[in-house]
């Protein structure tokens, strides 16, 4: 059965569909030696290459799901040629995996890595309202007004952020739970209110909490994966 090229690259565990779309746009993908258009389908027997490397579908591929505690300074990219401090070289996992979403370079904490491209879109799509929890420290004391304004939505990137849960933990520290994934959202929200983030750690994604030392990873437990799949059942379906 024919499969869209971005879905094919996701299914074989090469990268997420989002990254596949970018690779296609950049002309780095070839089907039978020709550069495809977005949406081109791969037929049985077609030869797919990325940057000249043959990509083959394995029927024995085991799905991998990792919870990794990203250190500050590591970049969530699979492009090892562009960024030396990339997450793939840091982890050195024996088979190809890629991160689900990202944490920016100055941030730390929980990020998932997988070779299961189908799970990526369900987790990332903002309309699925999947919670991500962060602990944040800023450069000066916060107060009730700051907490309320952060909770009720802040204007950034020509939009108003969704209402969210925010709780003060200390003079300059707070917890925030987001269901959005805007670029550098927490940092931009704080900057909009006149604060600067000094440290930002993600401590939970959906049902999975950060419980490994900095720079270490572990596999999801069977119970976590079952619960995660249950939470994803009602998520928007991935595109074919």
Residues 84-100: tens digit of each pLDDT? 899 999 999 988 898 98
Choose between 157 and 235: higher pLDDT: 157
Active site residue 104: yes
Q: So what's the pLDDT on residue 240?
A: 36
Which range among 10-19, 108-117, 209-218 shows the weakest confidence by mean pLDDT?
10-19
Q: Which of 104, 116, 118, 240 is the catalytic position? A: 104
Cα 111 from Cα 204, distance rounded (Å): 9
Burial of 137 (0-12, 13-18, 19+ CB in 10 A): middle
Range 65-121+211-232 has CATH code 3.10.20.600: no
Range 3-55 has CATH code 3.10.290.10: yes
Locate 70 and state its tokens: 């990203």
Longest alpha-carbon distance in the chain? 62
> Residue 146: pLDDT above 50?
yes
Residue spans of the domains in the chain: they are 3-55, 65-121+211-232, 131-205
pLDDT band of 69, cuts 50, 70, 90 = very high
81 bridge partner residues = none
Q: So what's the pLDDT on residue 96?
A: 86
| Cα atoms in the Cβ-side hemisphere of radius 13 Å centred on 65 | 17
Angle (nearest 5°) at CA 126 between 121 and 127: 100
Q: So what's the pLDDT on residue 15?
A: 79
> What is the reported pTM?
0.77
Phi, psi of 120 (to 5 degrees): -65, -50
Locate 115 and state its tokens: 């070779």
Of 201, 226, 199, the residue nearest 211 (C-alpha): 201
CB atoms within 10 A of CB 131: 14
Q: So what's the pLDDT on residue 237?
A: 47
Cα 85 from Cα 89, distance rounded (Å): 7
Q: So what's the pLDDT on residue 209?
A: 96
CB atoms within 10 A of CB 164: 19
Q: Which CATH architecture group holds 131-205?
A: 2-Layer Sandwich (3.30)
User: Do the first three CATH levels of 65-121+211-232 and 131-205 match, i.e. the same topology?
Assistant: yes
């Amino acid at each position: 059965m024919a499969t869209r090229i971005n879905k094919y690259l996701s299914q074989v565990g090469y990268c997420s569909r989002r990254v596949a779309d970018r690779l296609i746009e950049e002309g780095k993908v070839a089907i039978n030696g020709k550069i495809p258009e977005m949406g081109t389908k791969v037929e049985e027997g077609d030869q797919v290459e990325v940057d000249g490397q043959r990509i083959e579908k394995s029927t024995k591929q085991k799905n991998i799901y990792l919870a990794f505690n990203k250190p500050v300074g590591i970049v969530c990219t699979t492009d090892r040629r562009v960024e030396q401090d990339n997450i793939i070289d840091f982890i050195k996992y024996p088979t190809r995996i890629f991160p689900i979403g990202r944490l920016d370079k100055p941030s730390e904490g929980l990020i998932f890595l997988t070779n299961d491209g189908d799970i990526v879109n369900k987790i990332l799509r903002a309309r699925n309202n999947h919670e991500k929890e962060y602990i944040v420290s800023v450069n000066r004391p916060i107060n009730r007004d700051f907490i309320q304004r952060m909770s009720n939505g802040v204007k950034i990137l020509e939009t108003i952020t969704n209402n969210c849960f925010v709780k003060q933990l200390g003079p300059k520290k707070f917890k925030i739970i987001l269901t959005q994934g805007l670029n550098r959202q927490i940092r931009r929200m704080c900057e909009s209110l006149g604060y600067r983030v000094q440290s930002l750690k993600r401590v939970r994604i959906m049902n999975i909490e950060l419980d490994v030392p900095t720079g270490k990873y572990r596999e999801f437990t069977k119970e976590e994966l079952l619960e995660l799949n249950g939470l994803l059942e009602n998520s928007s379906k991935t595109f074919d």
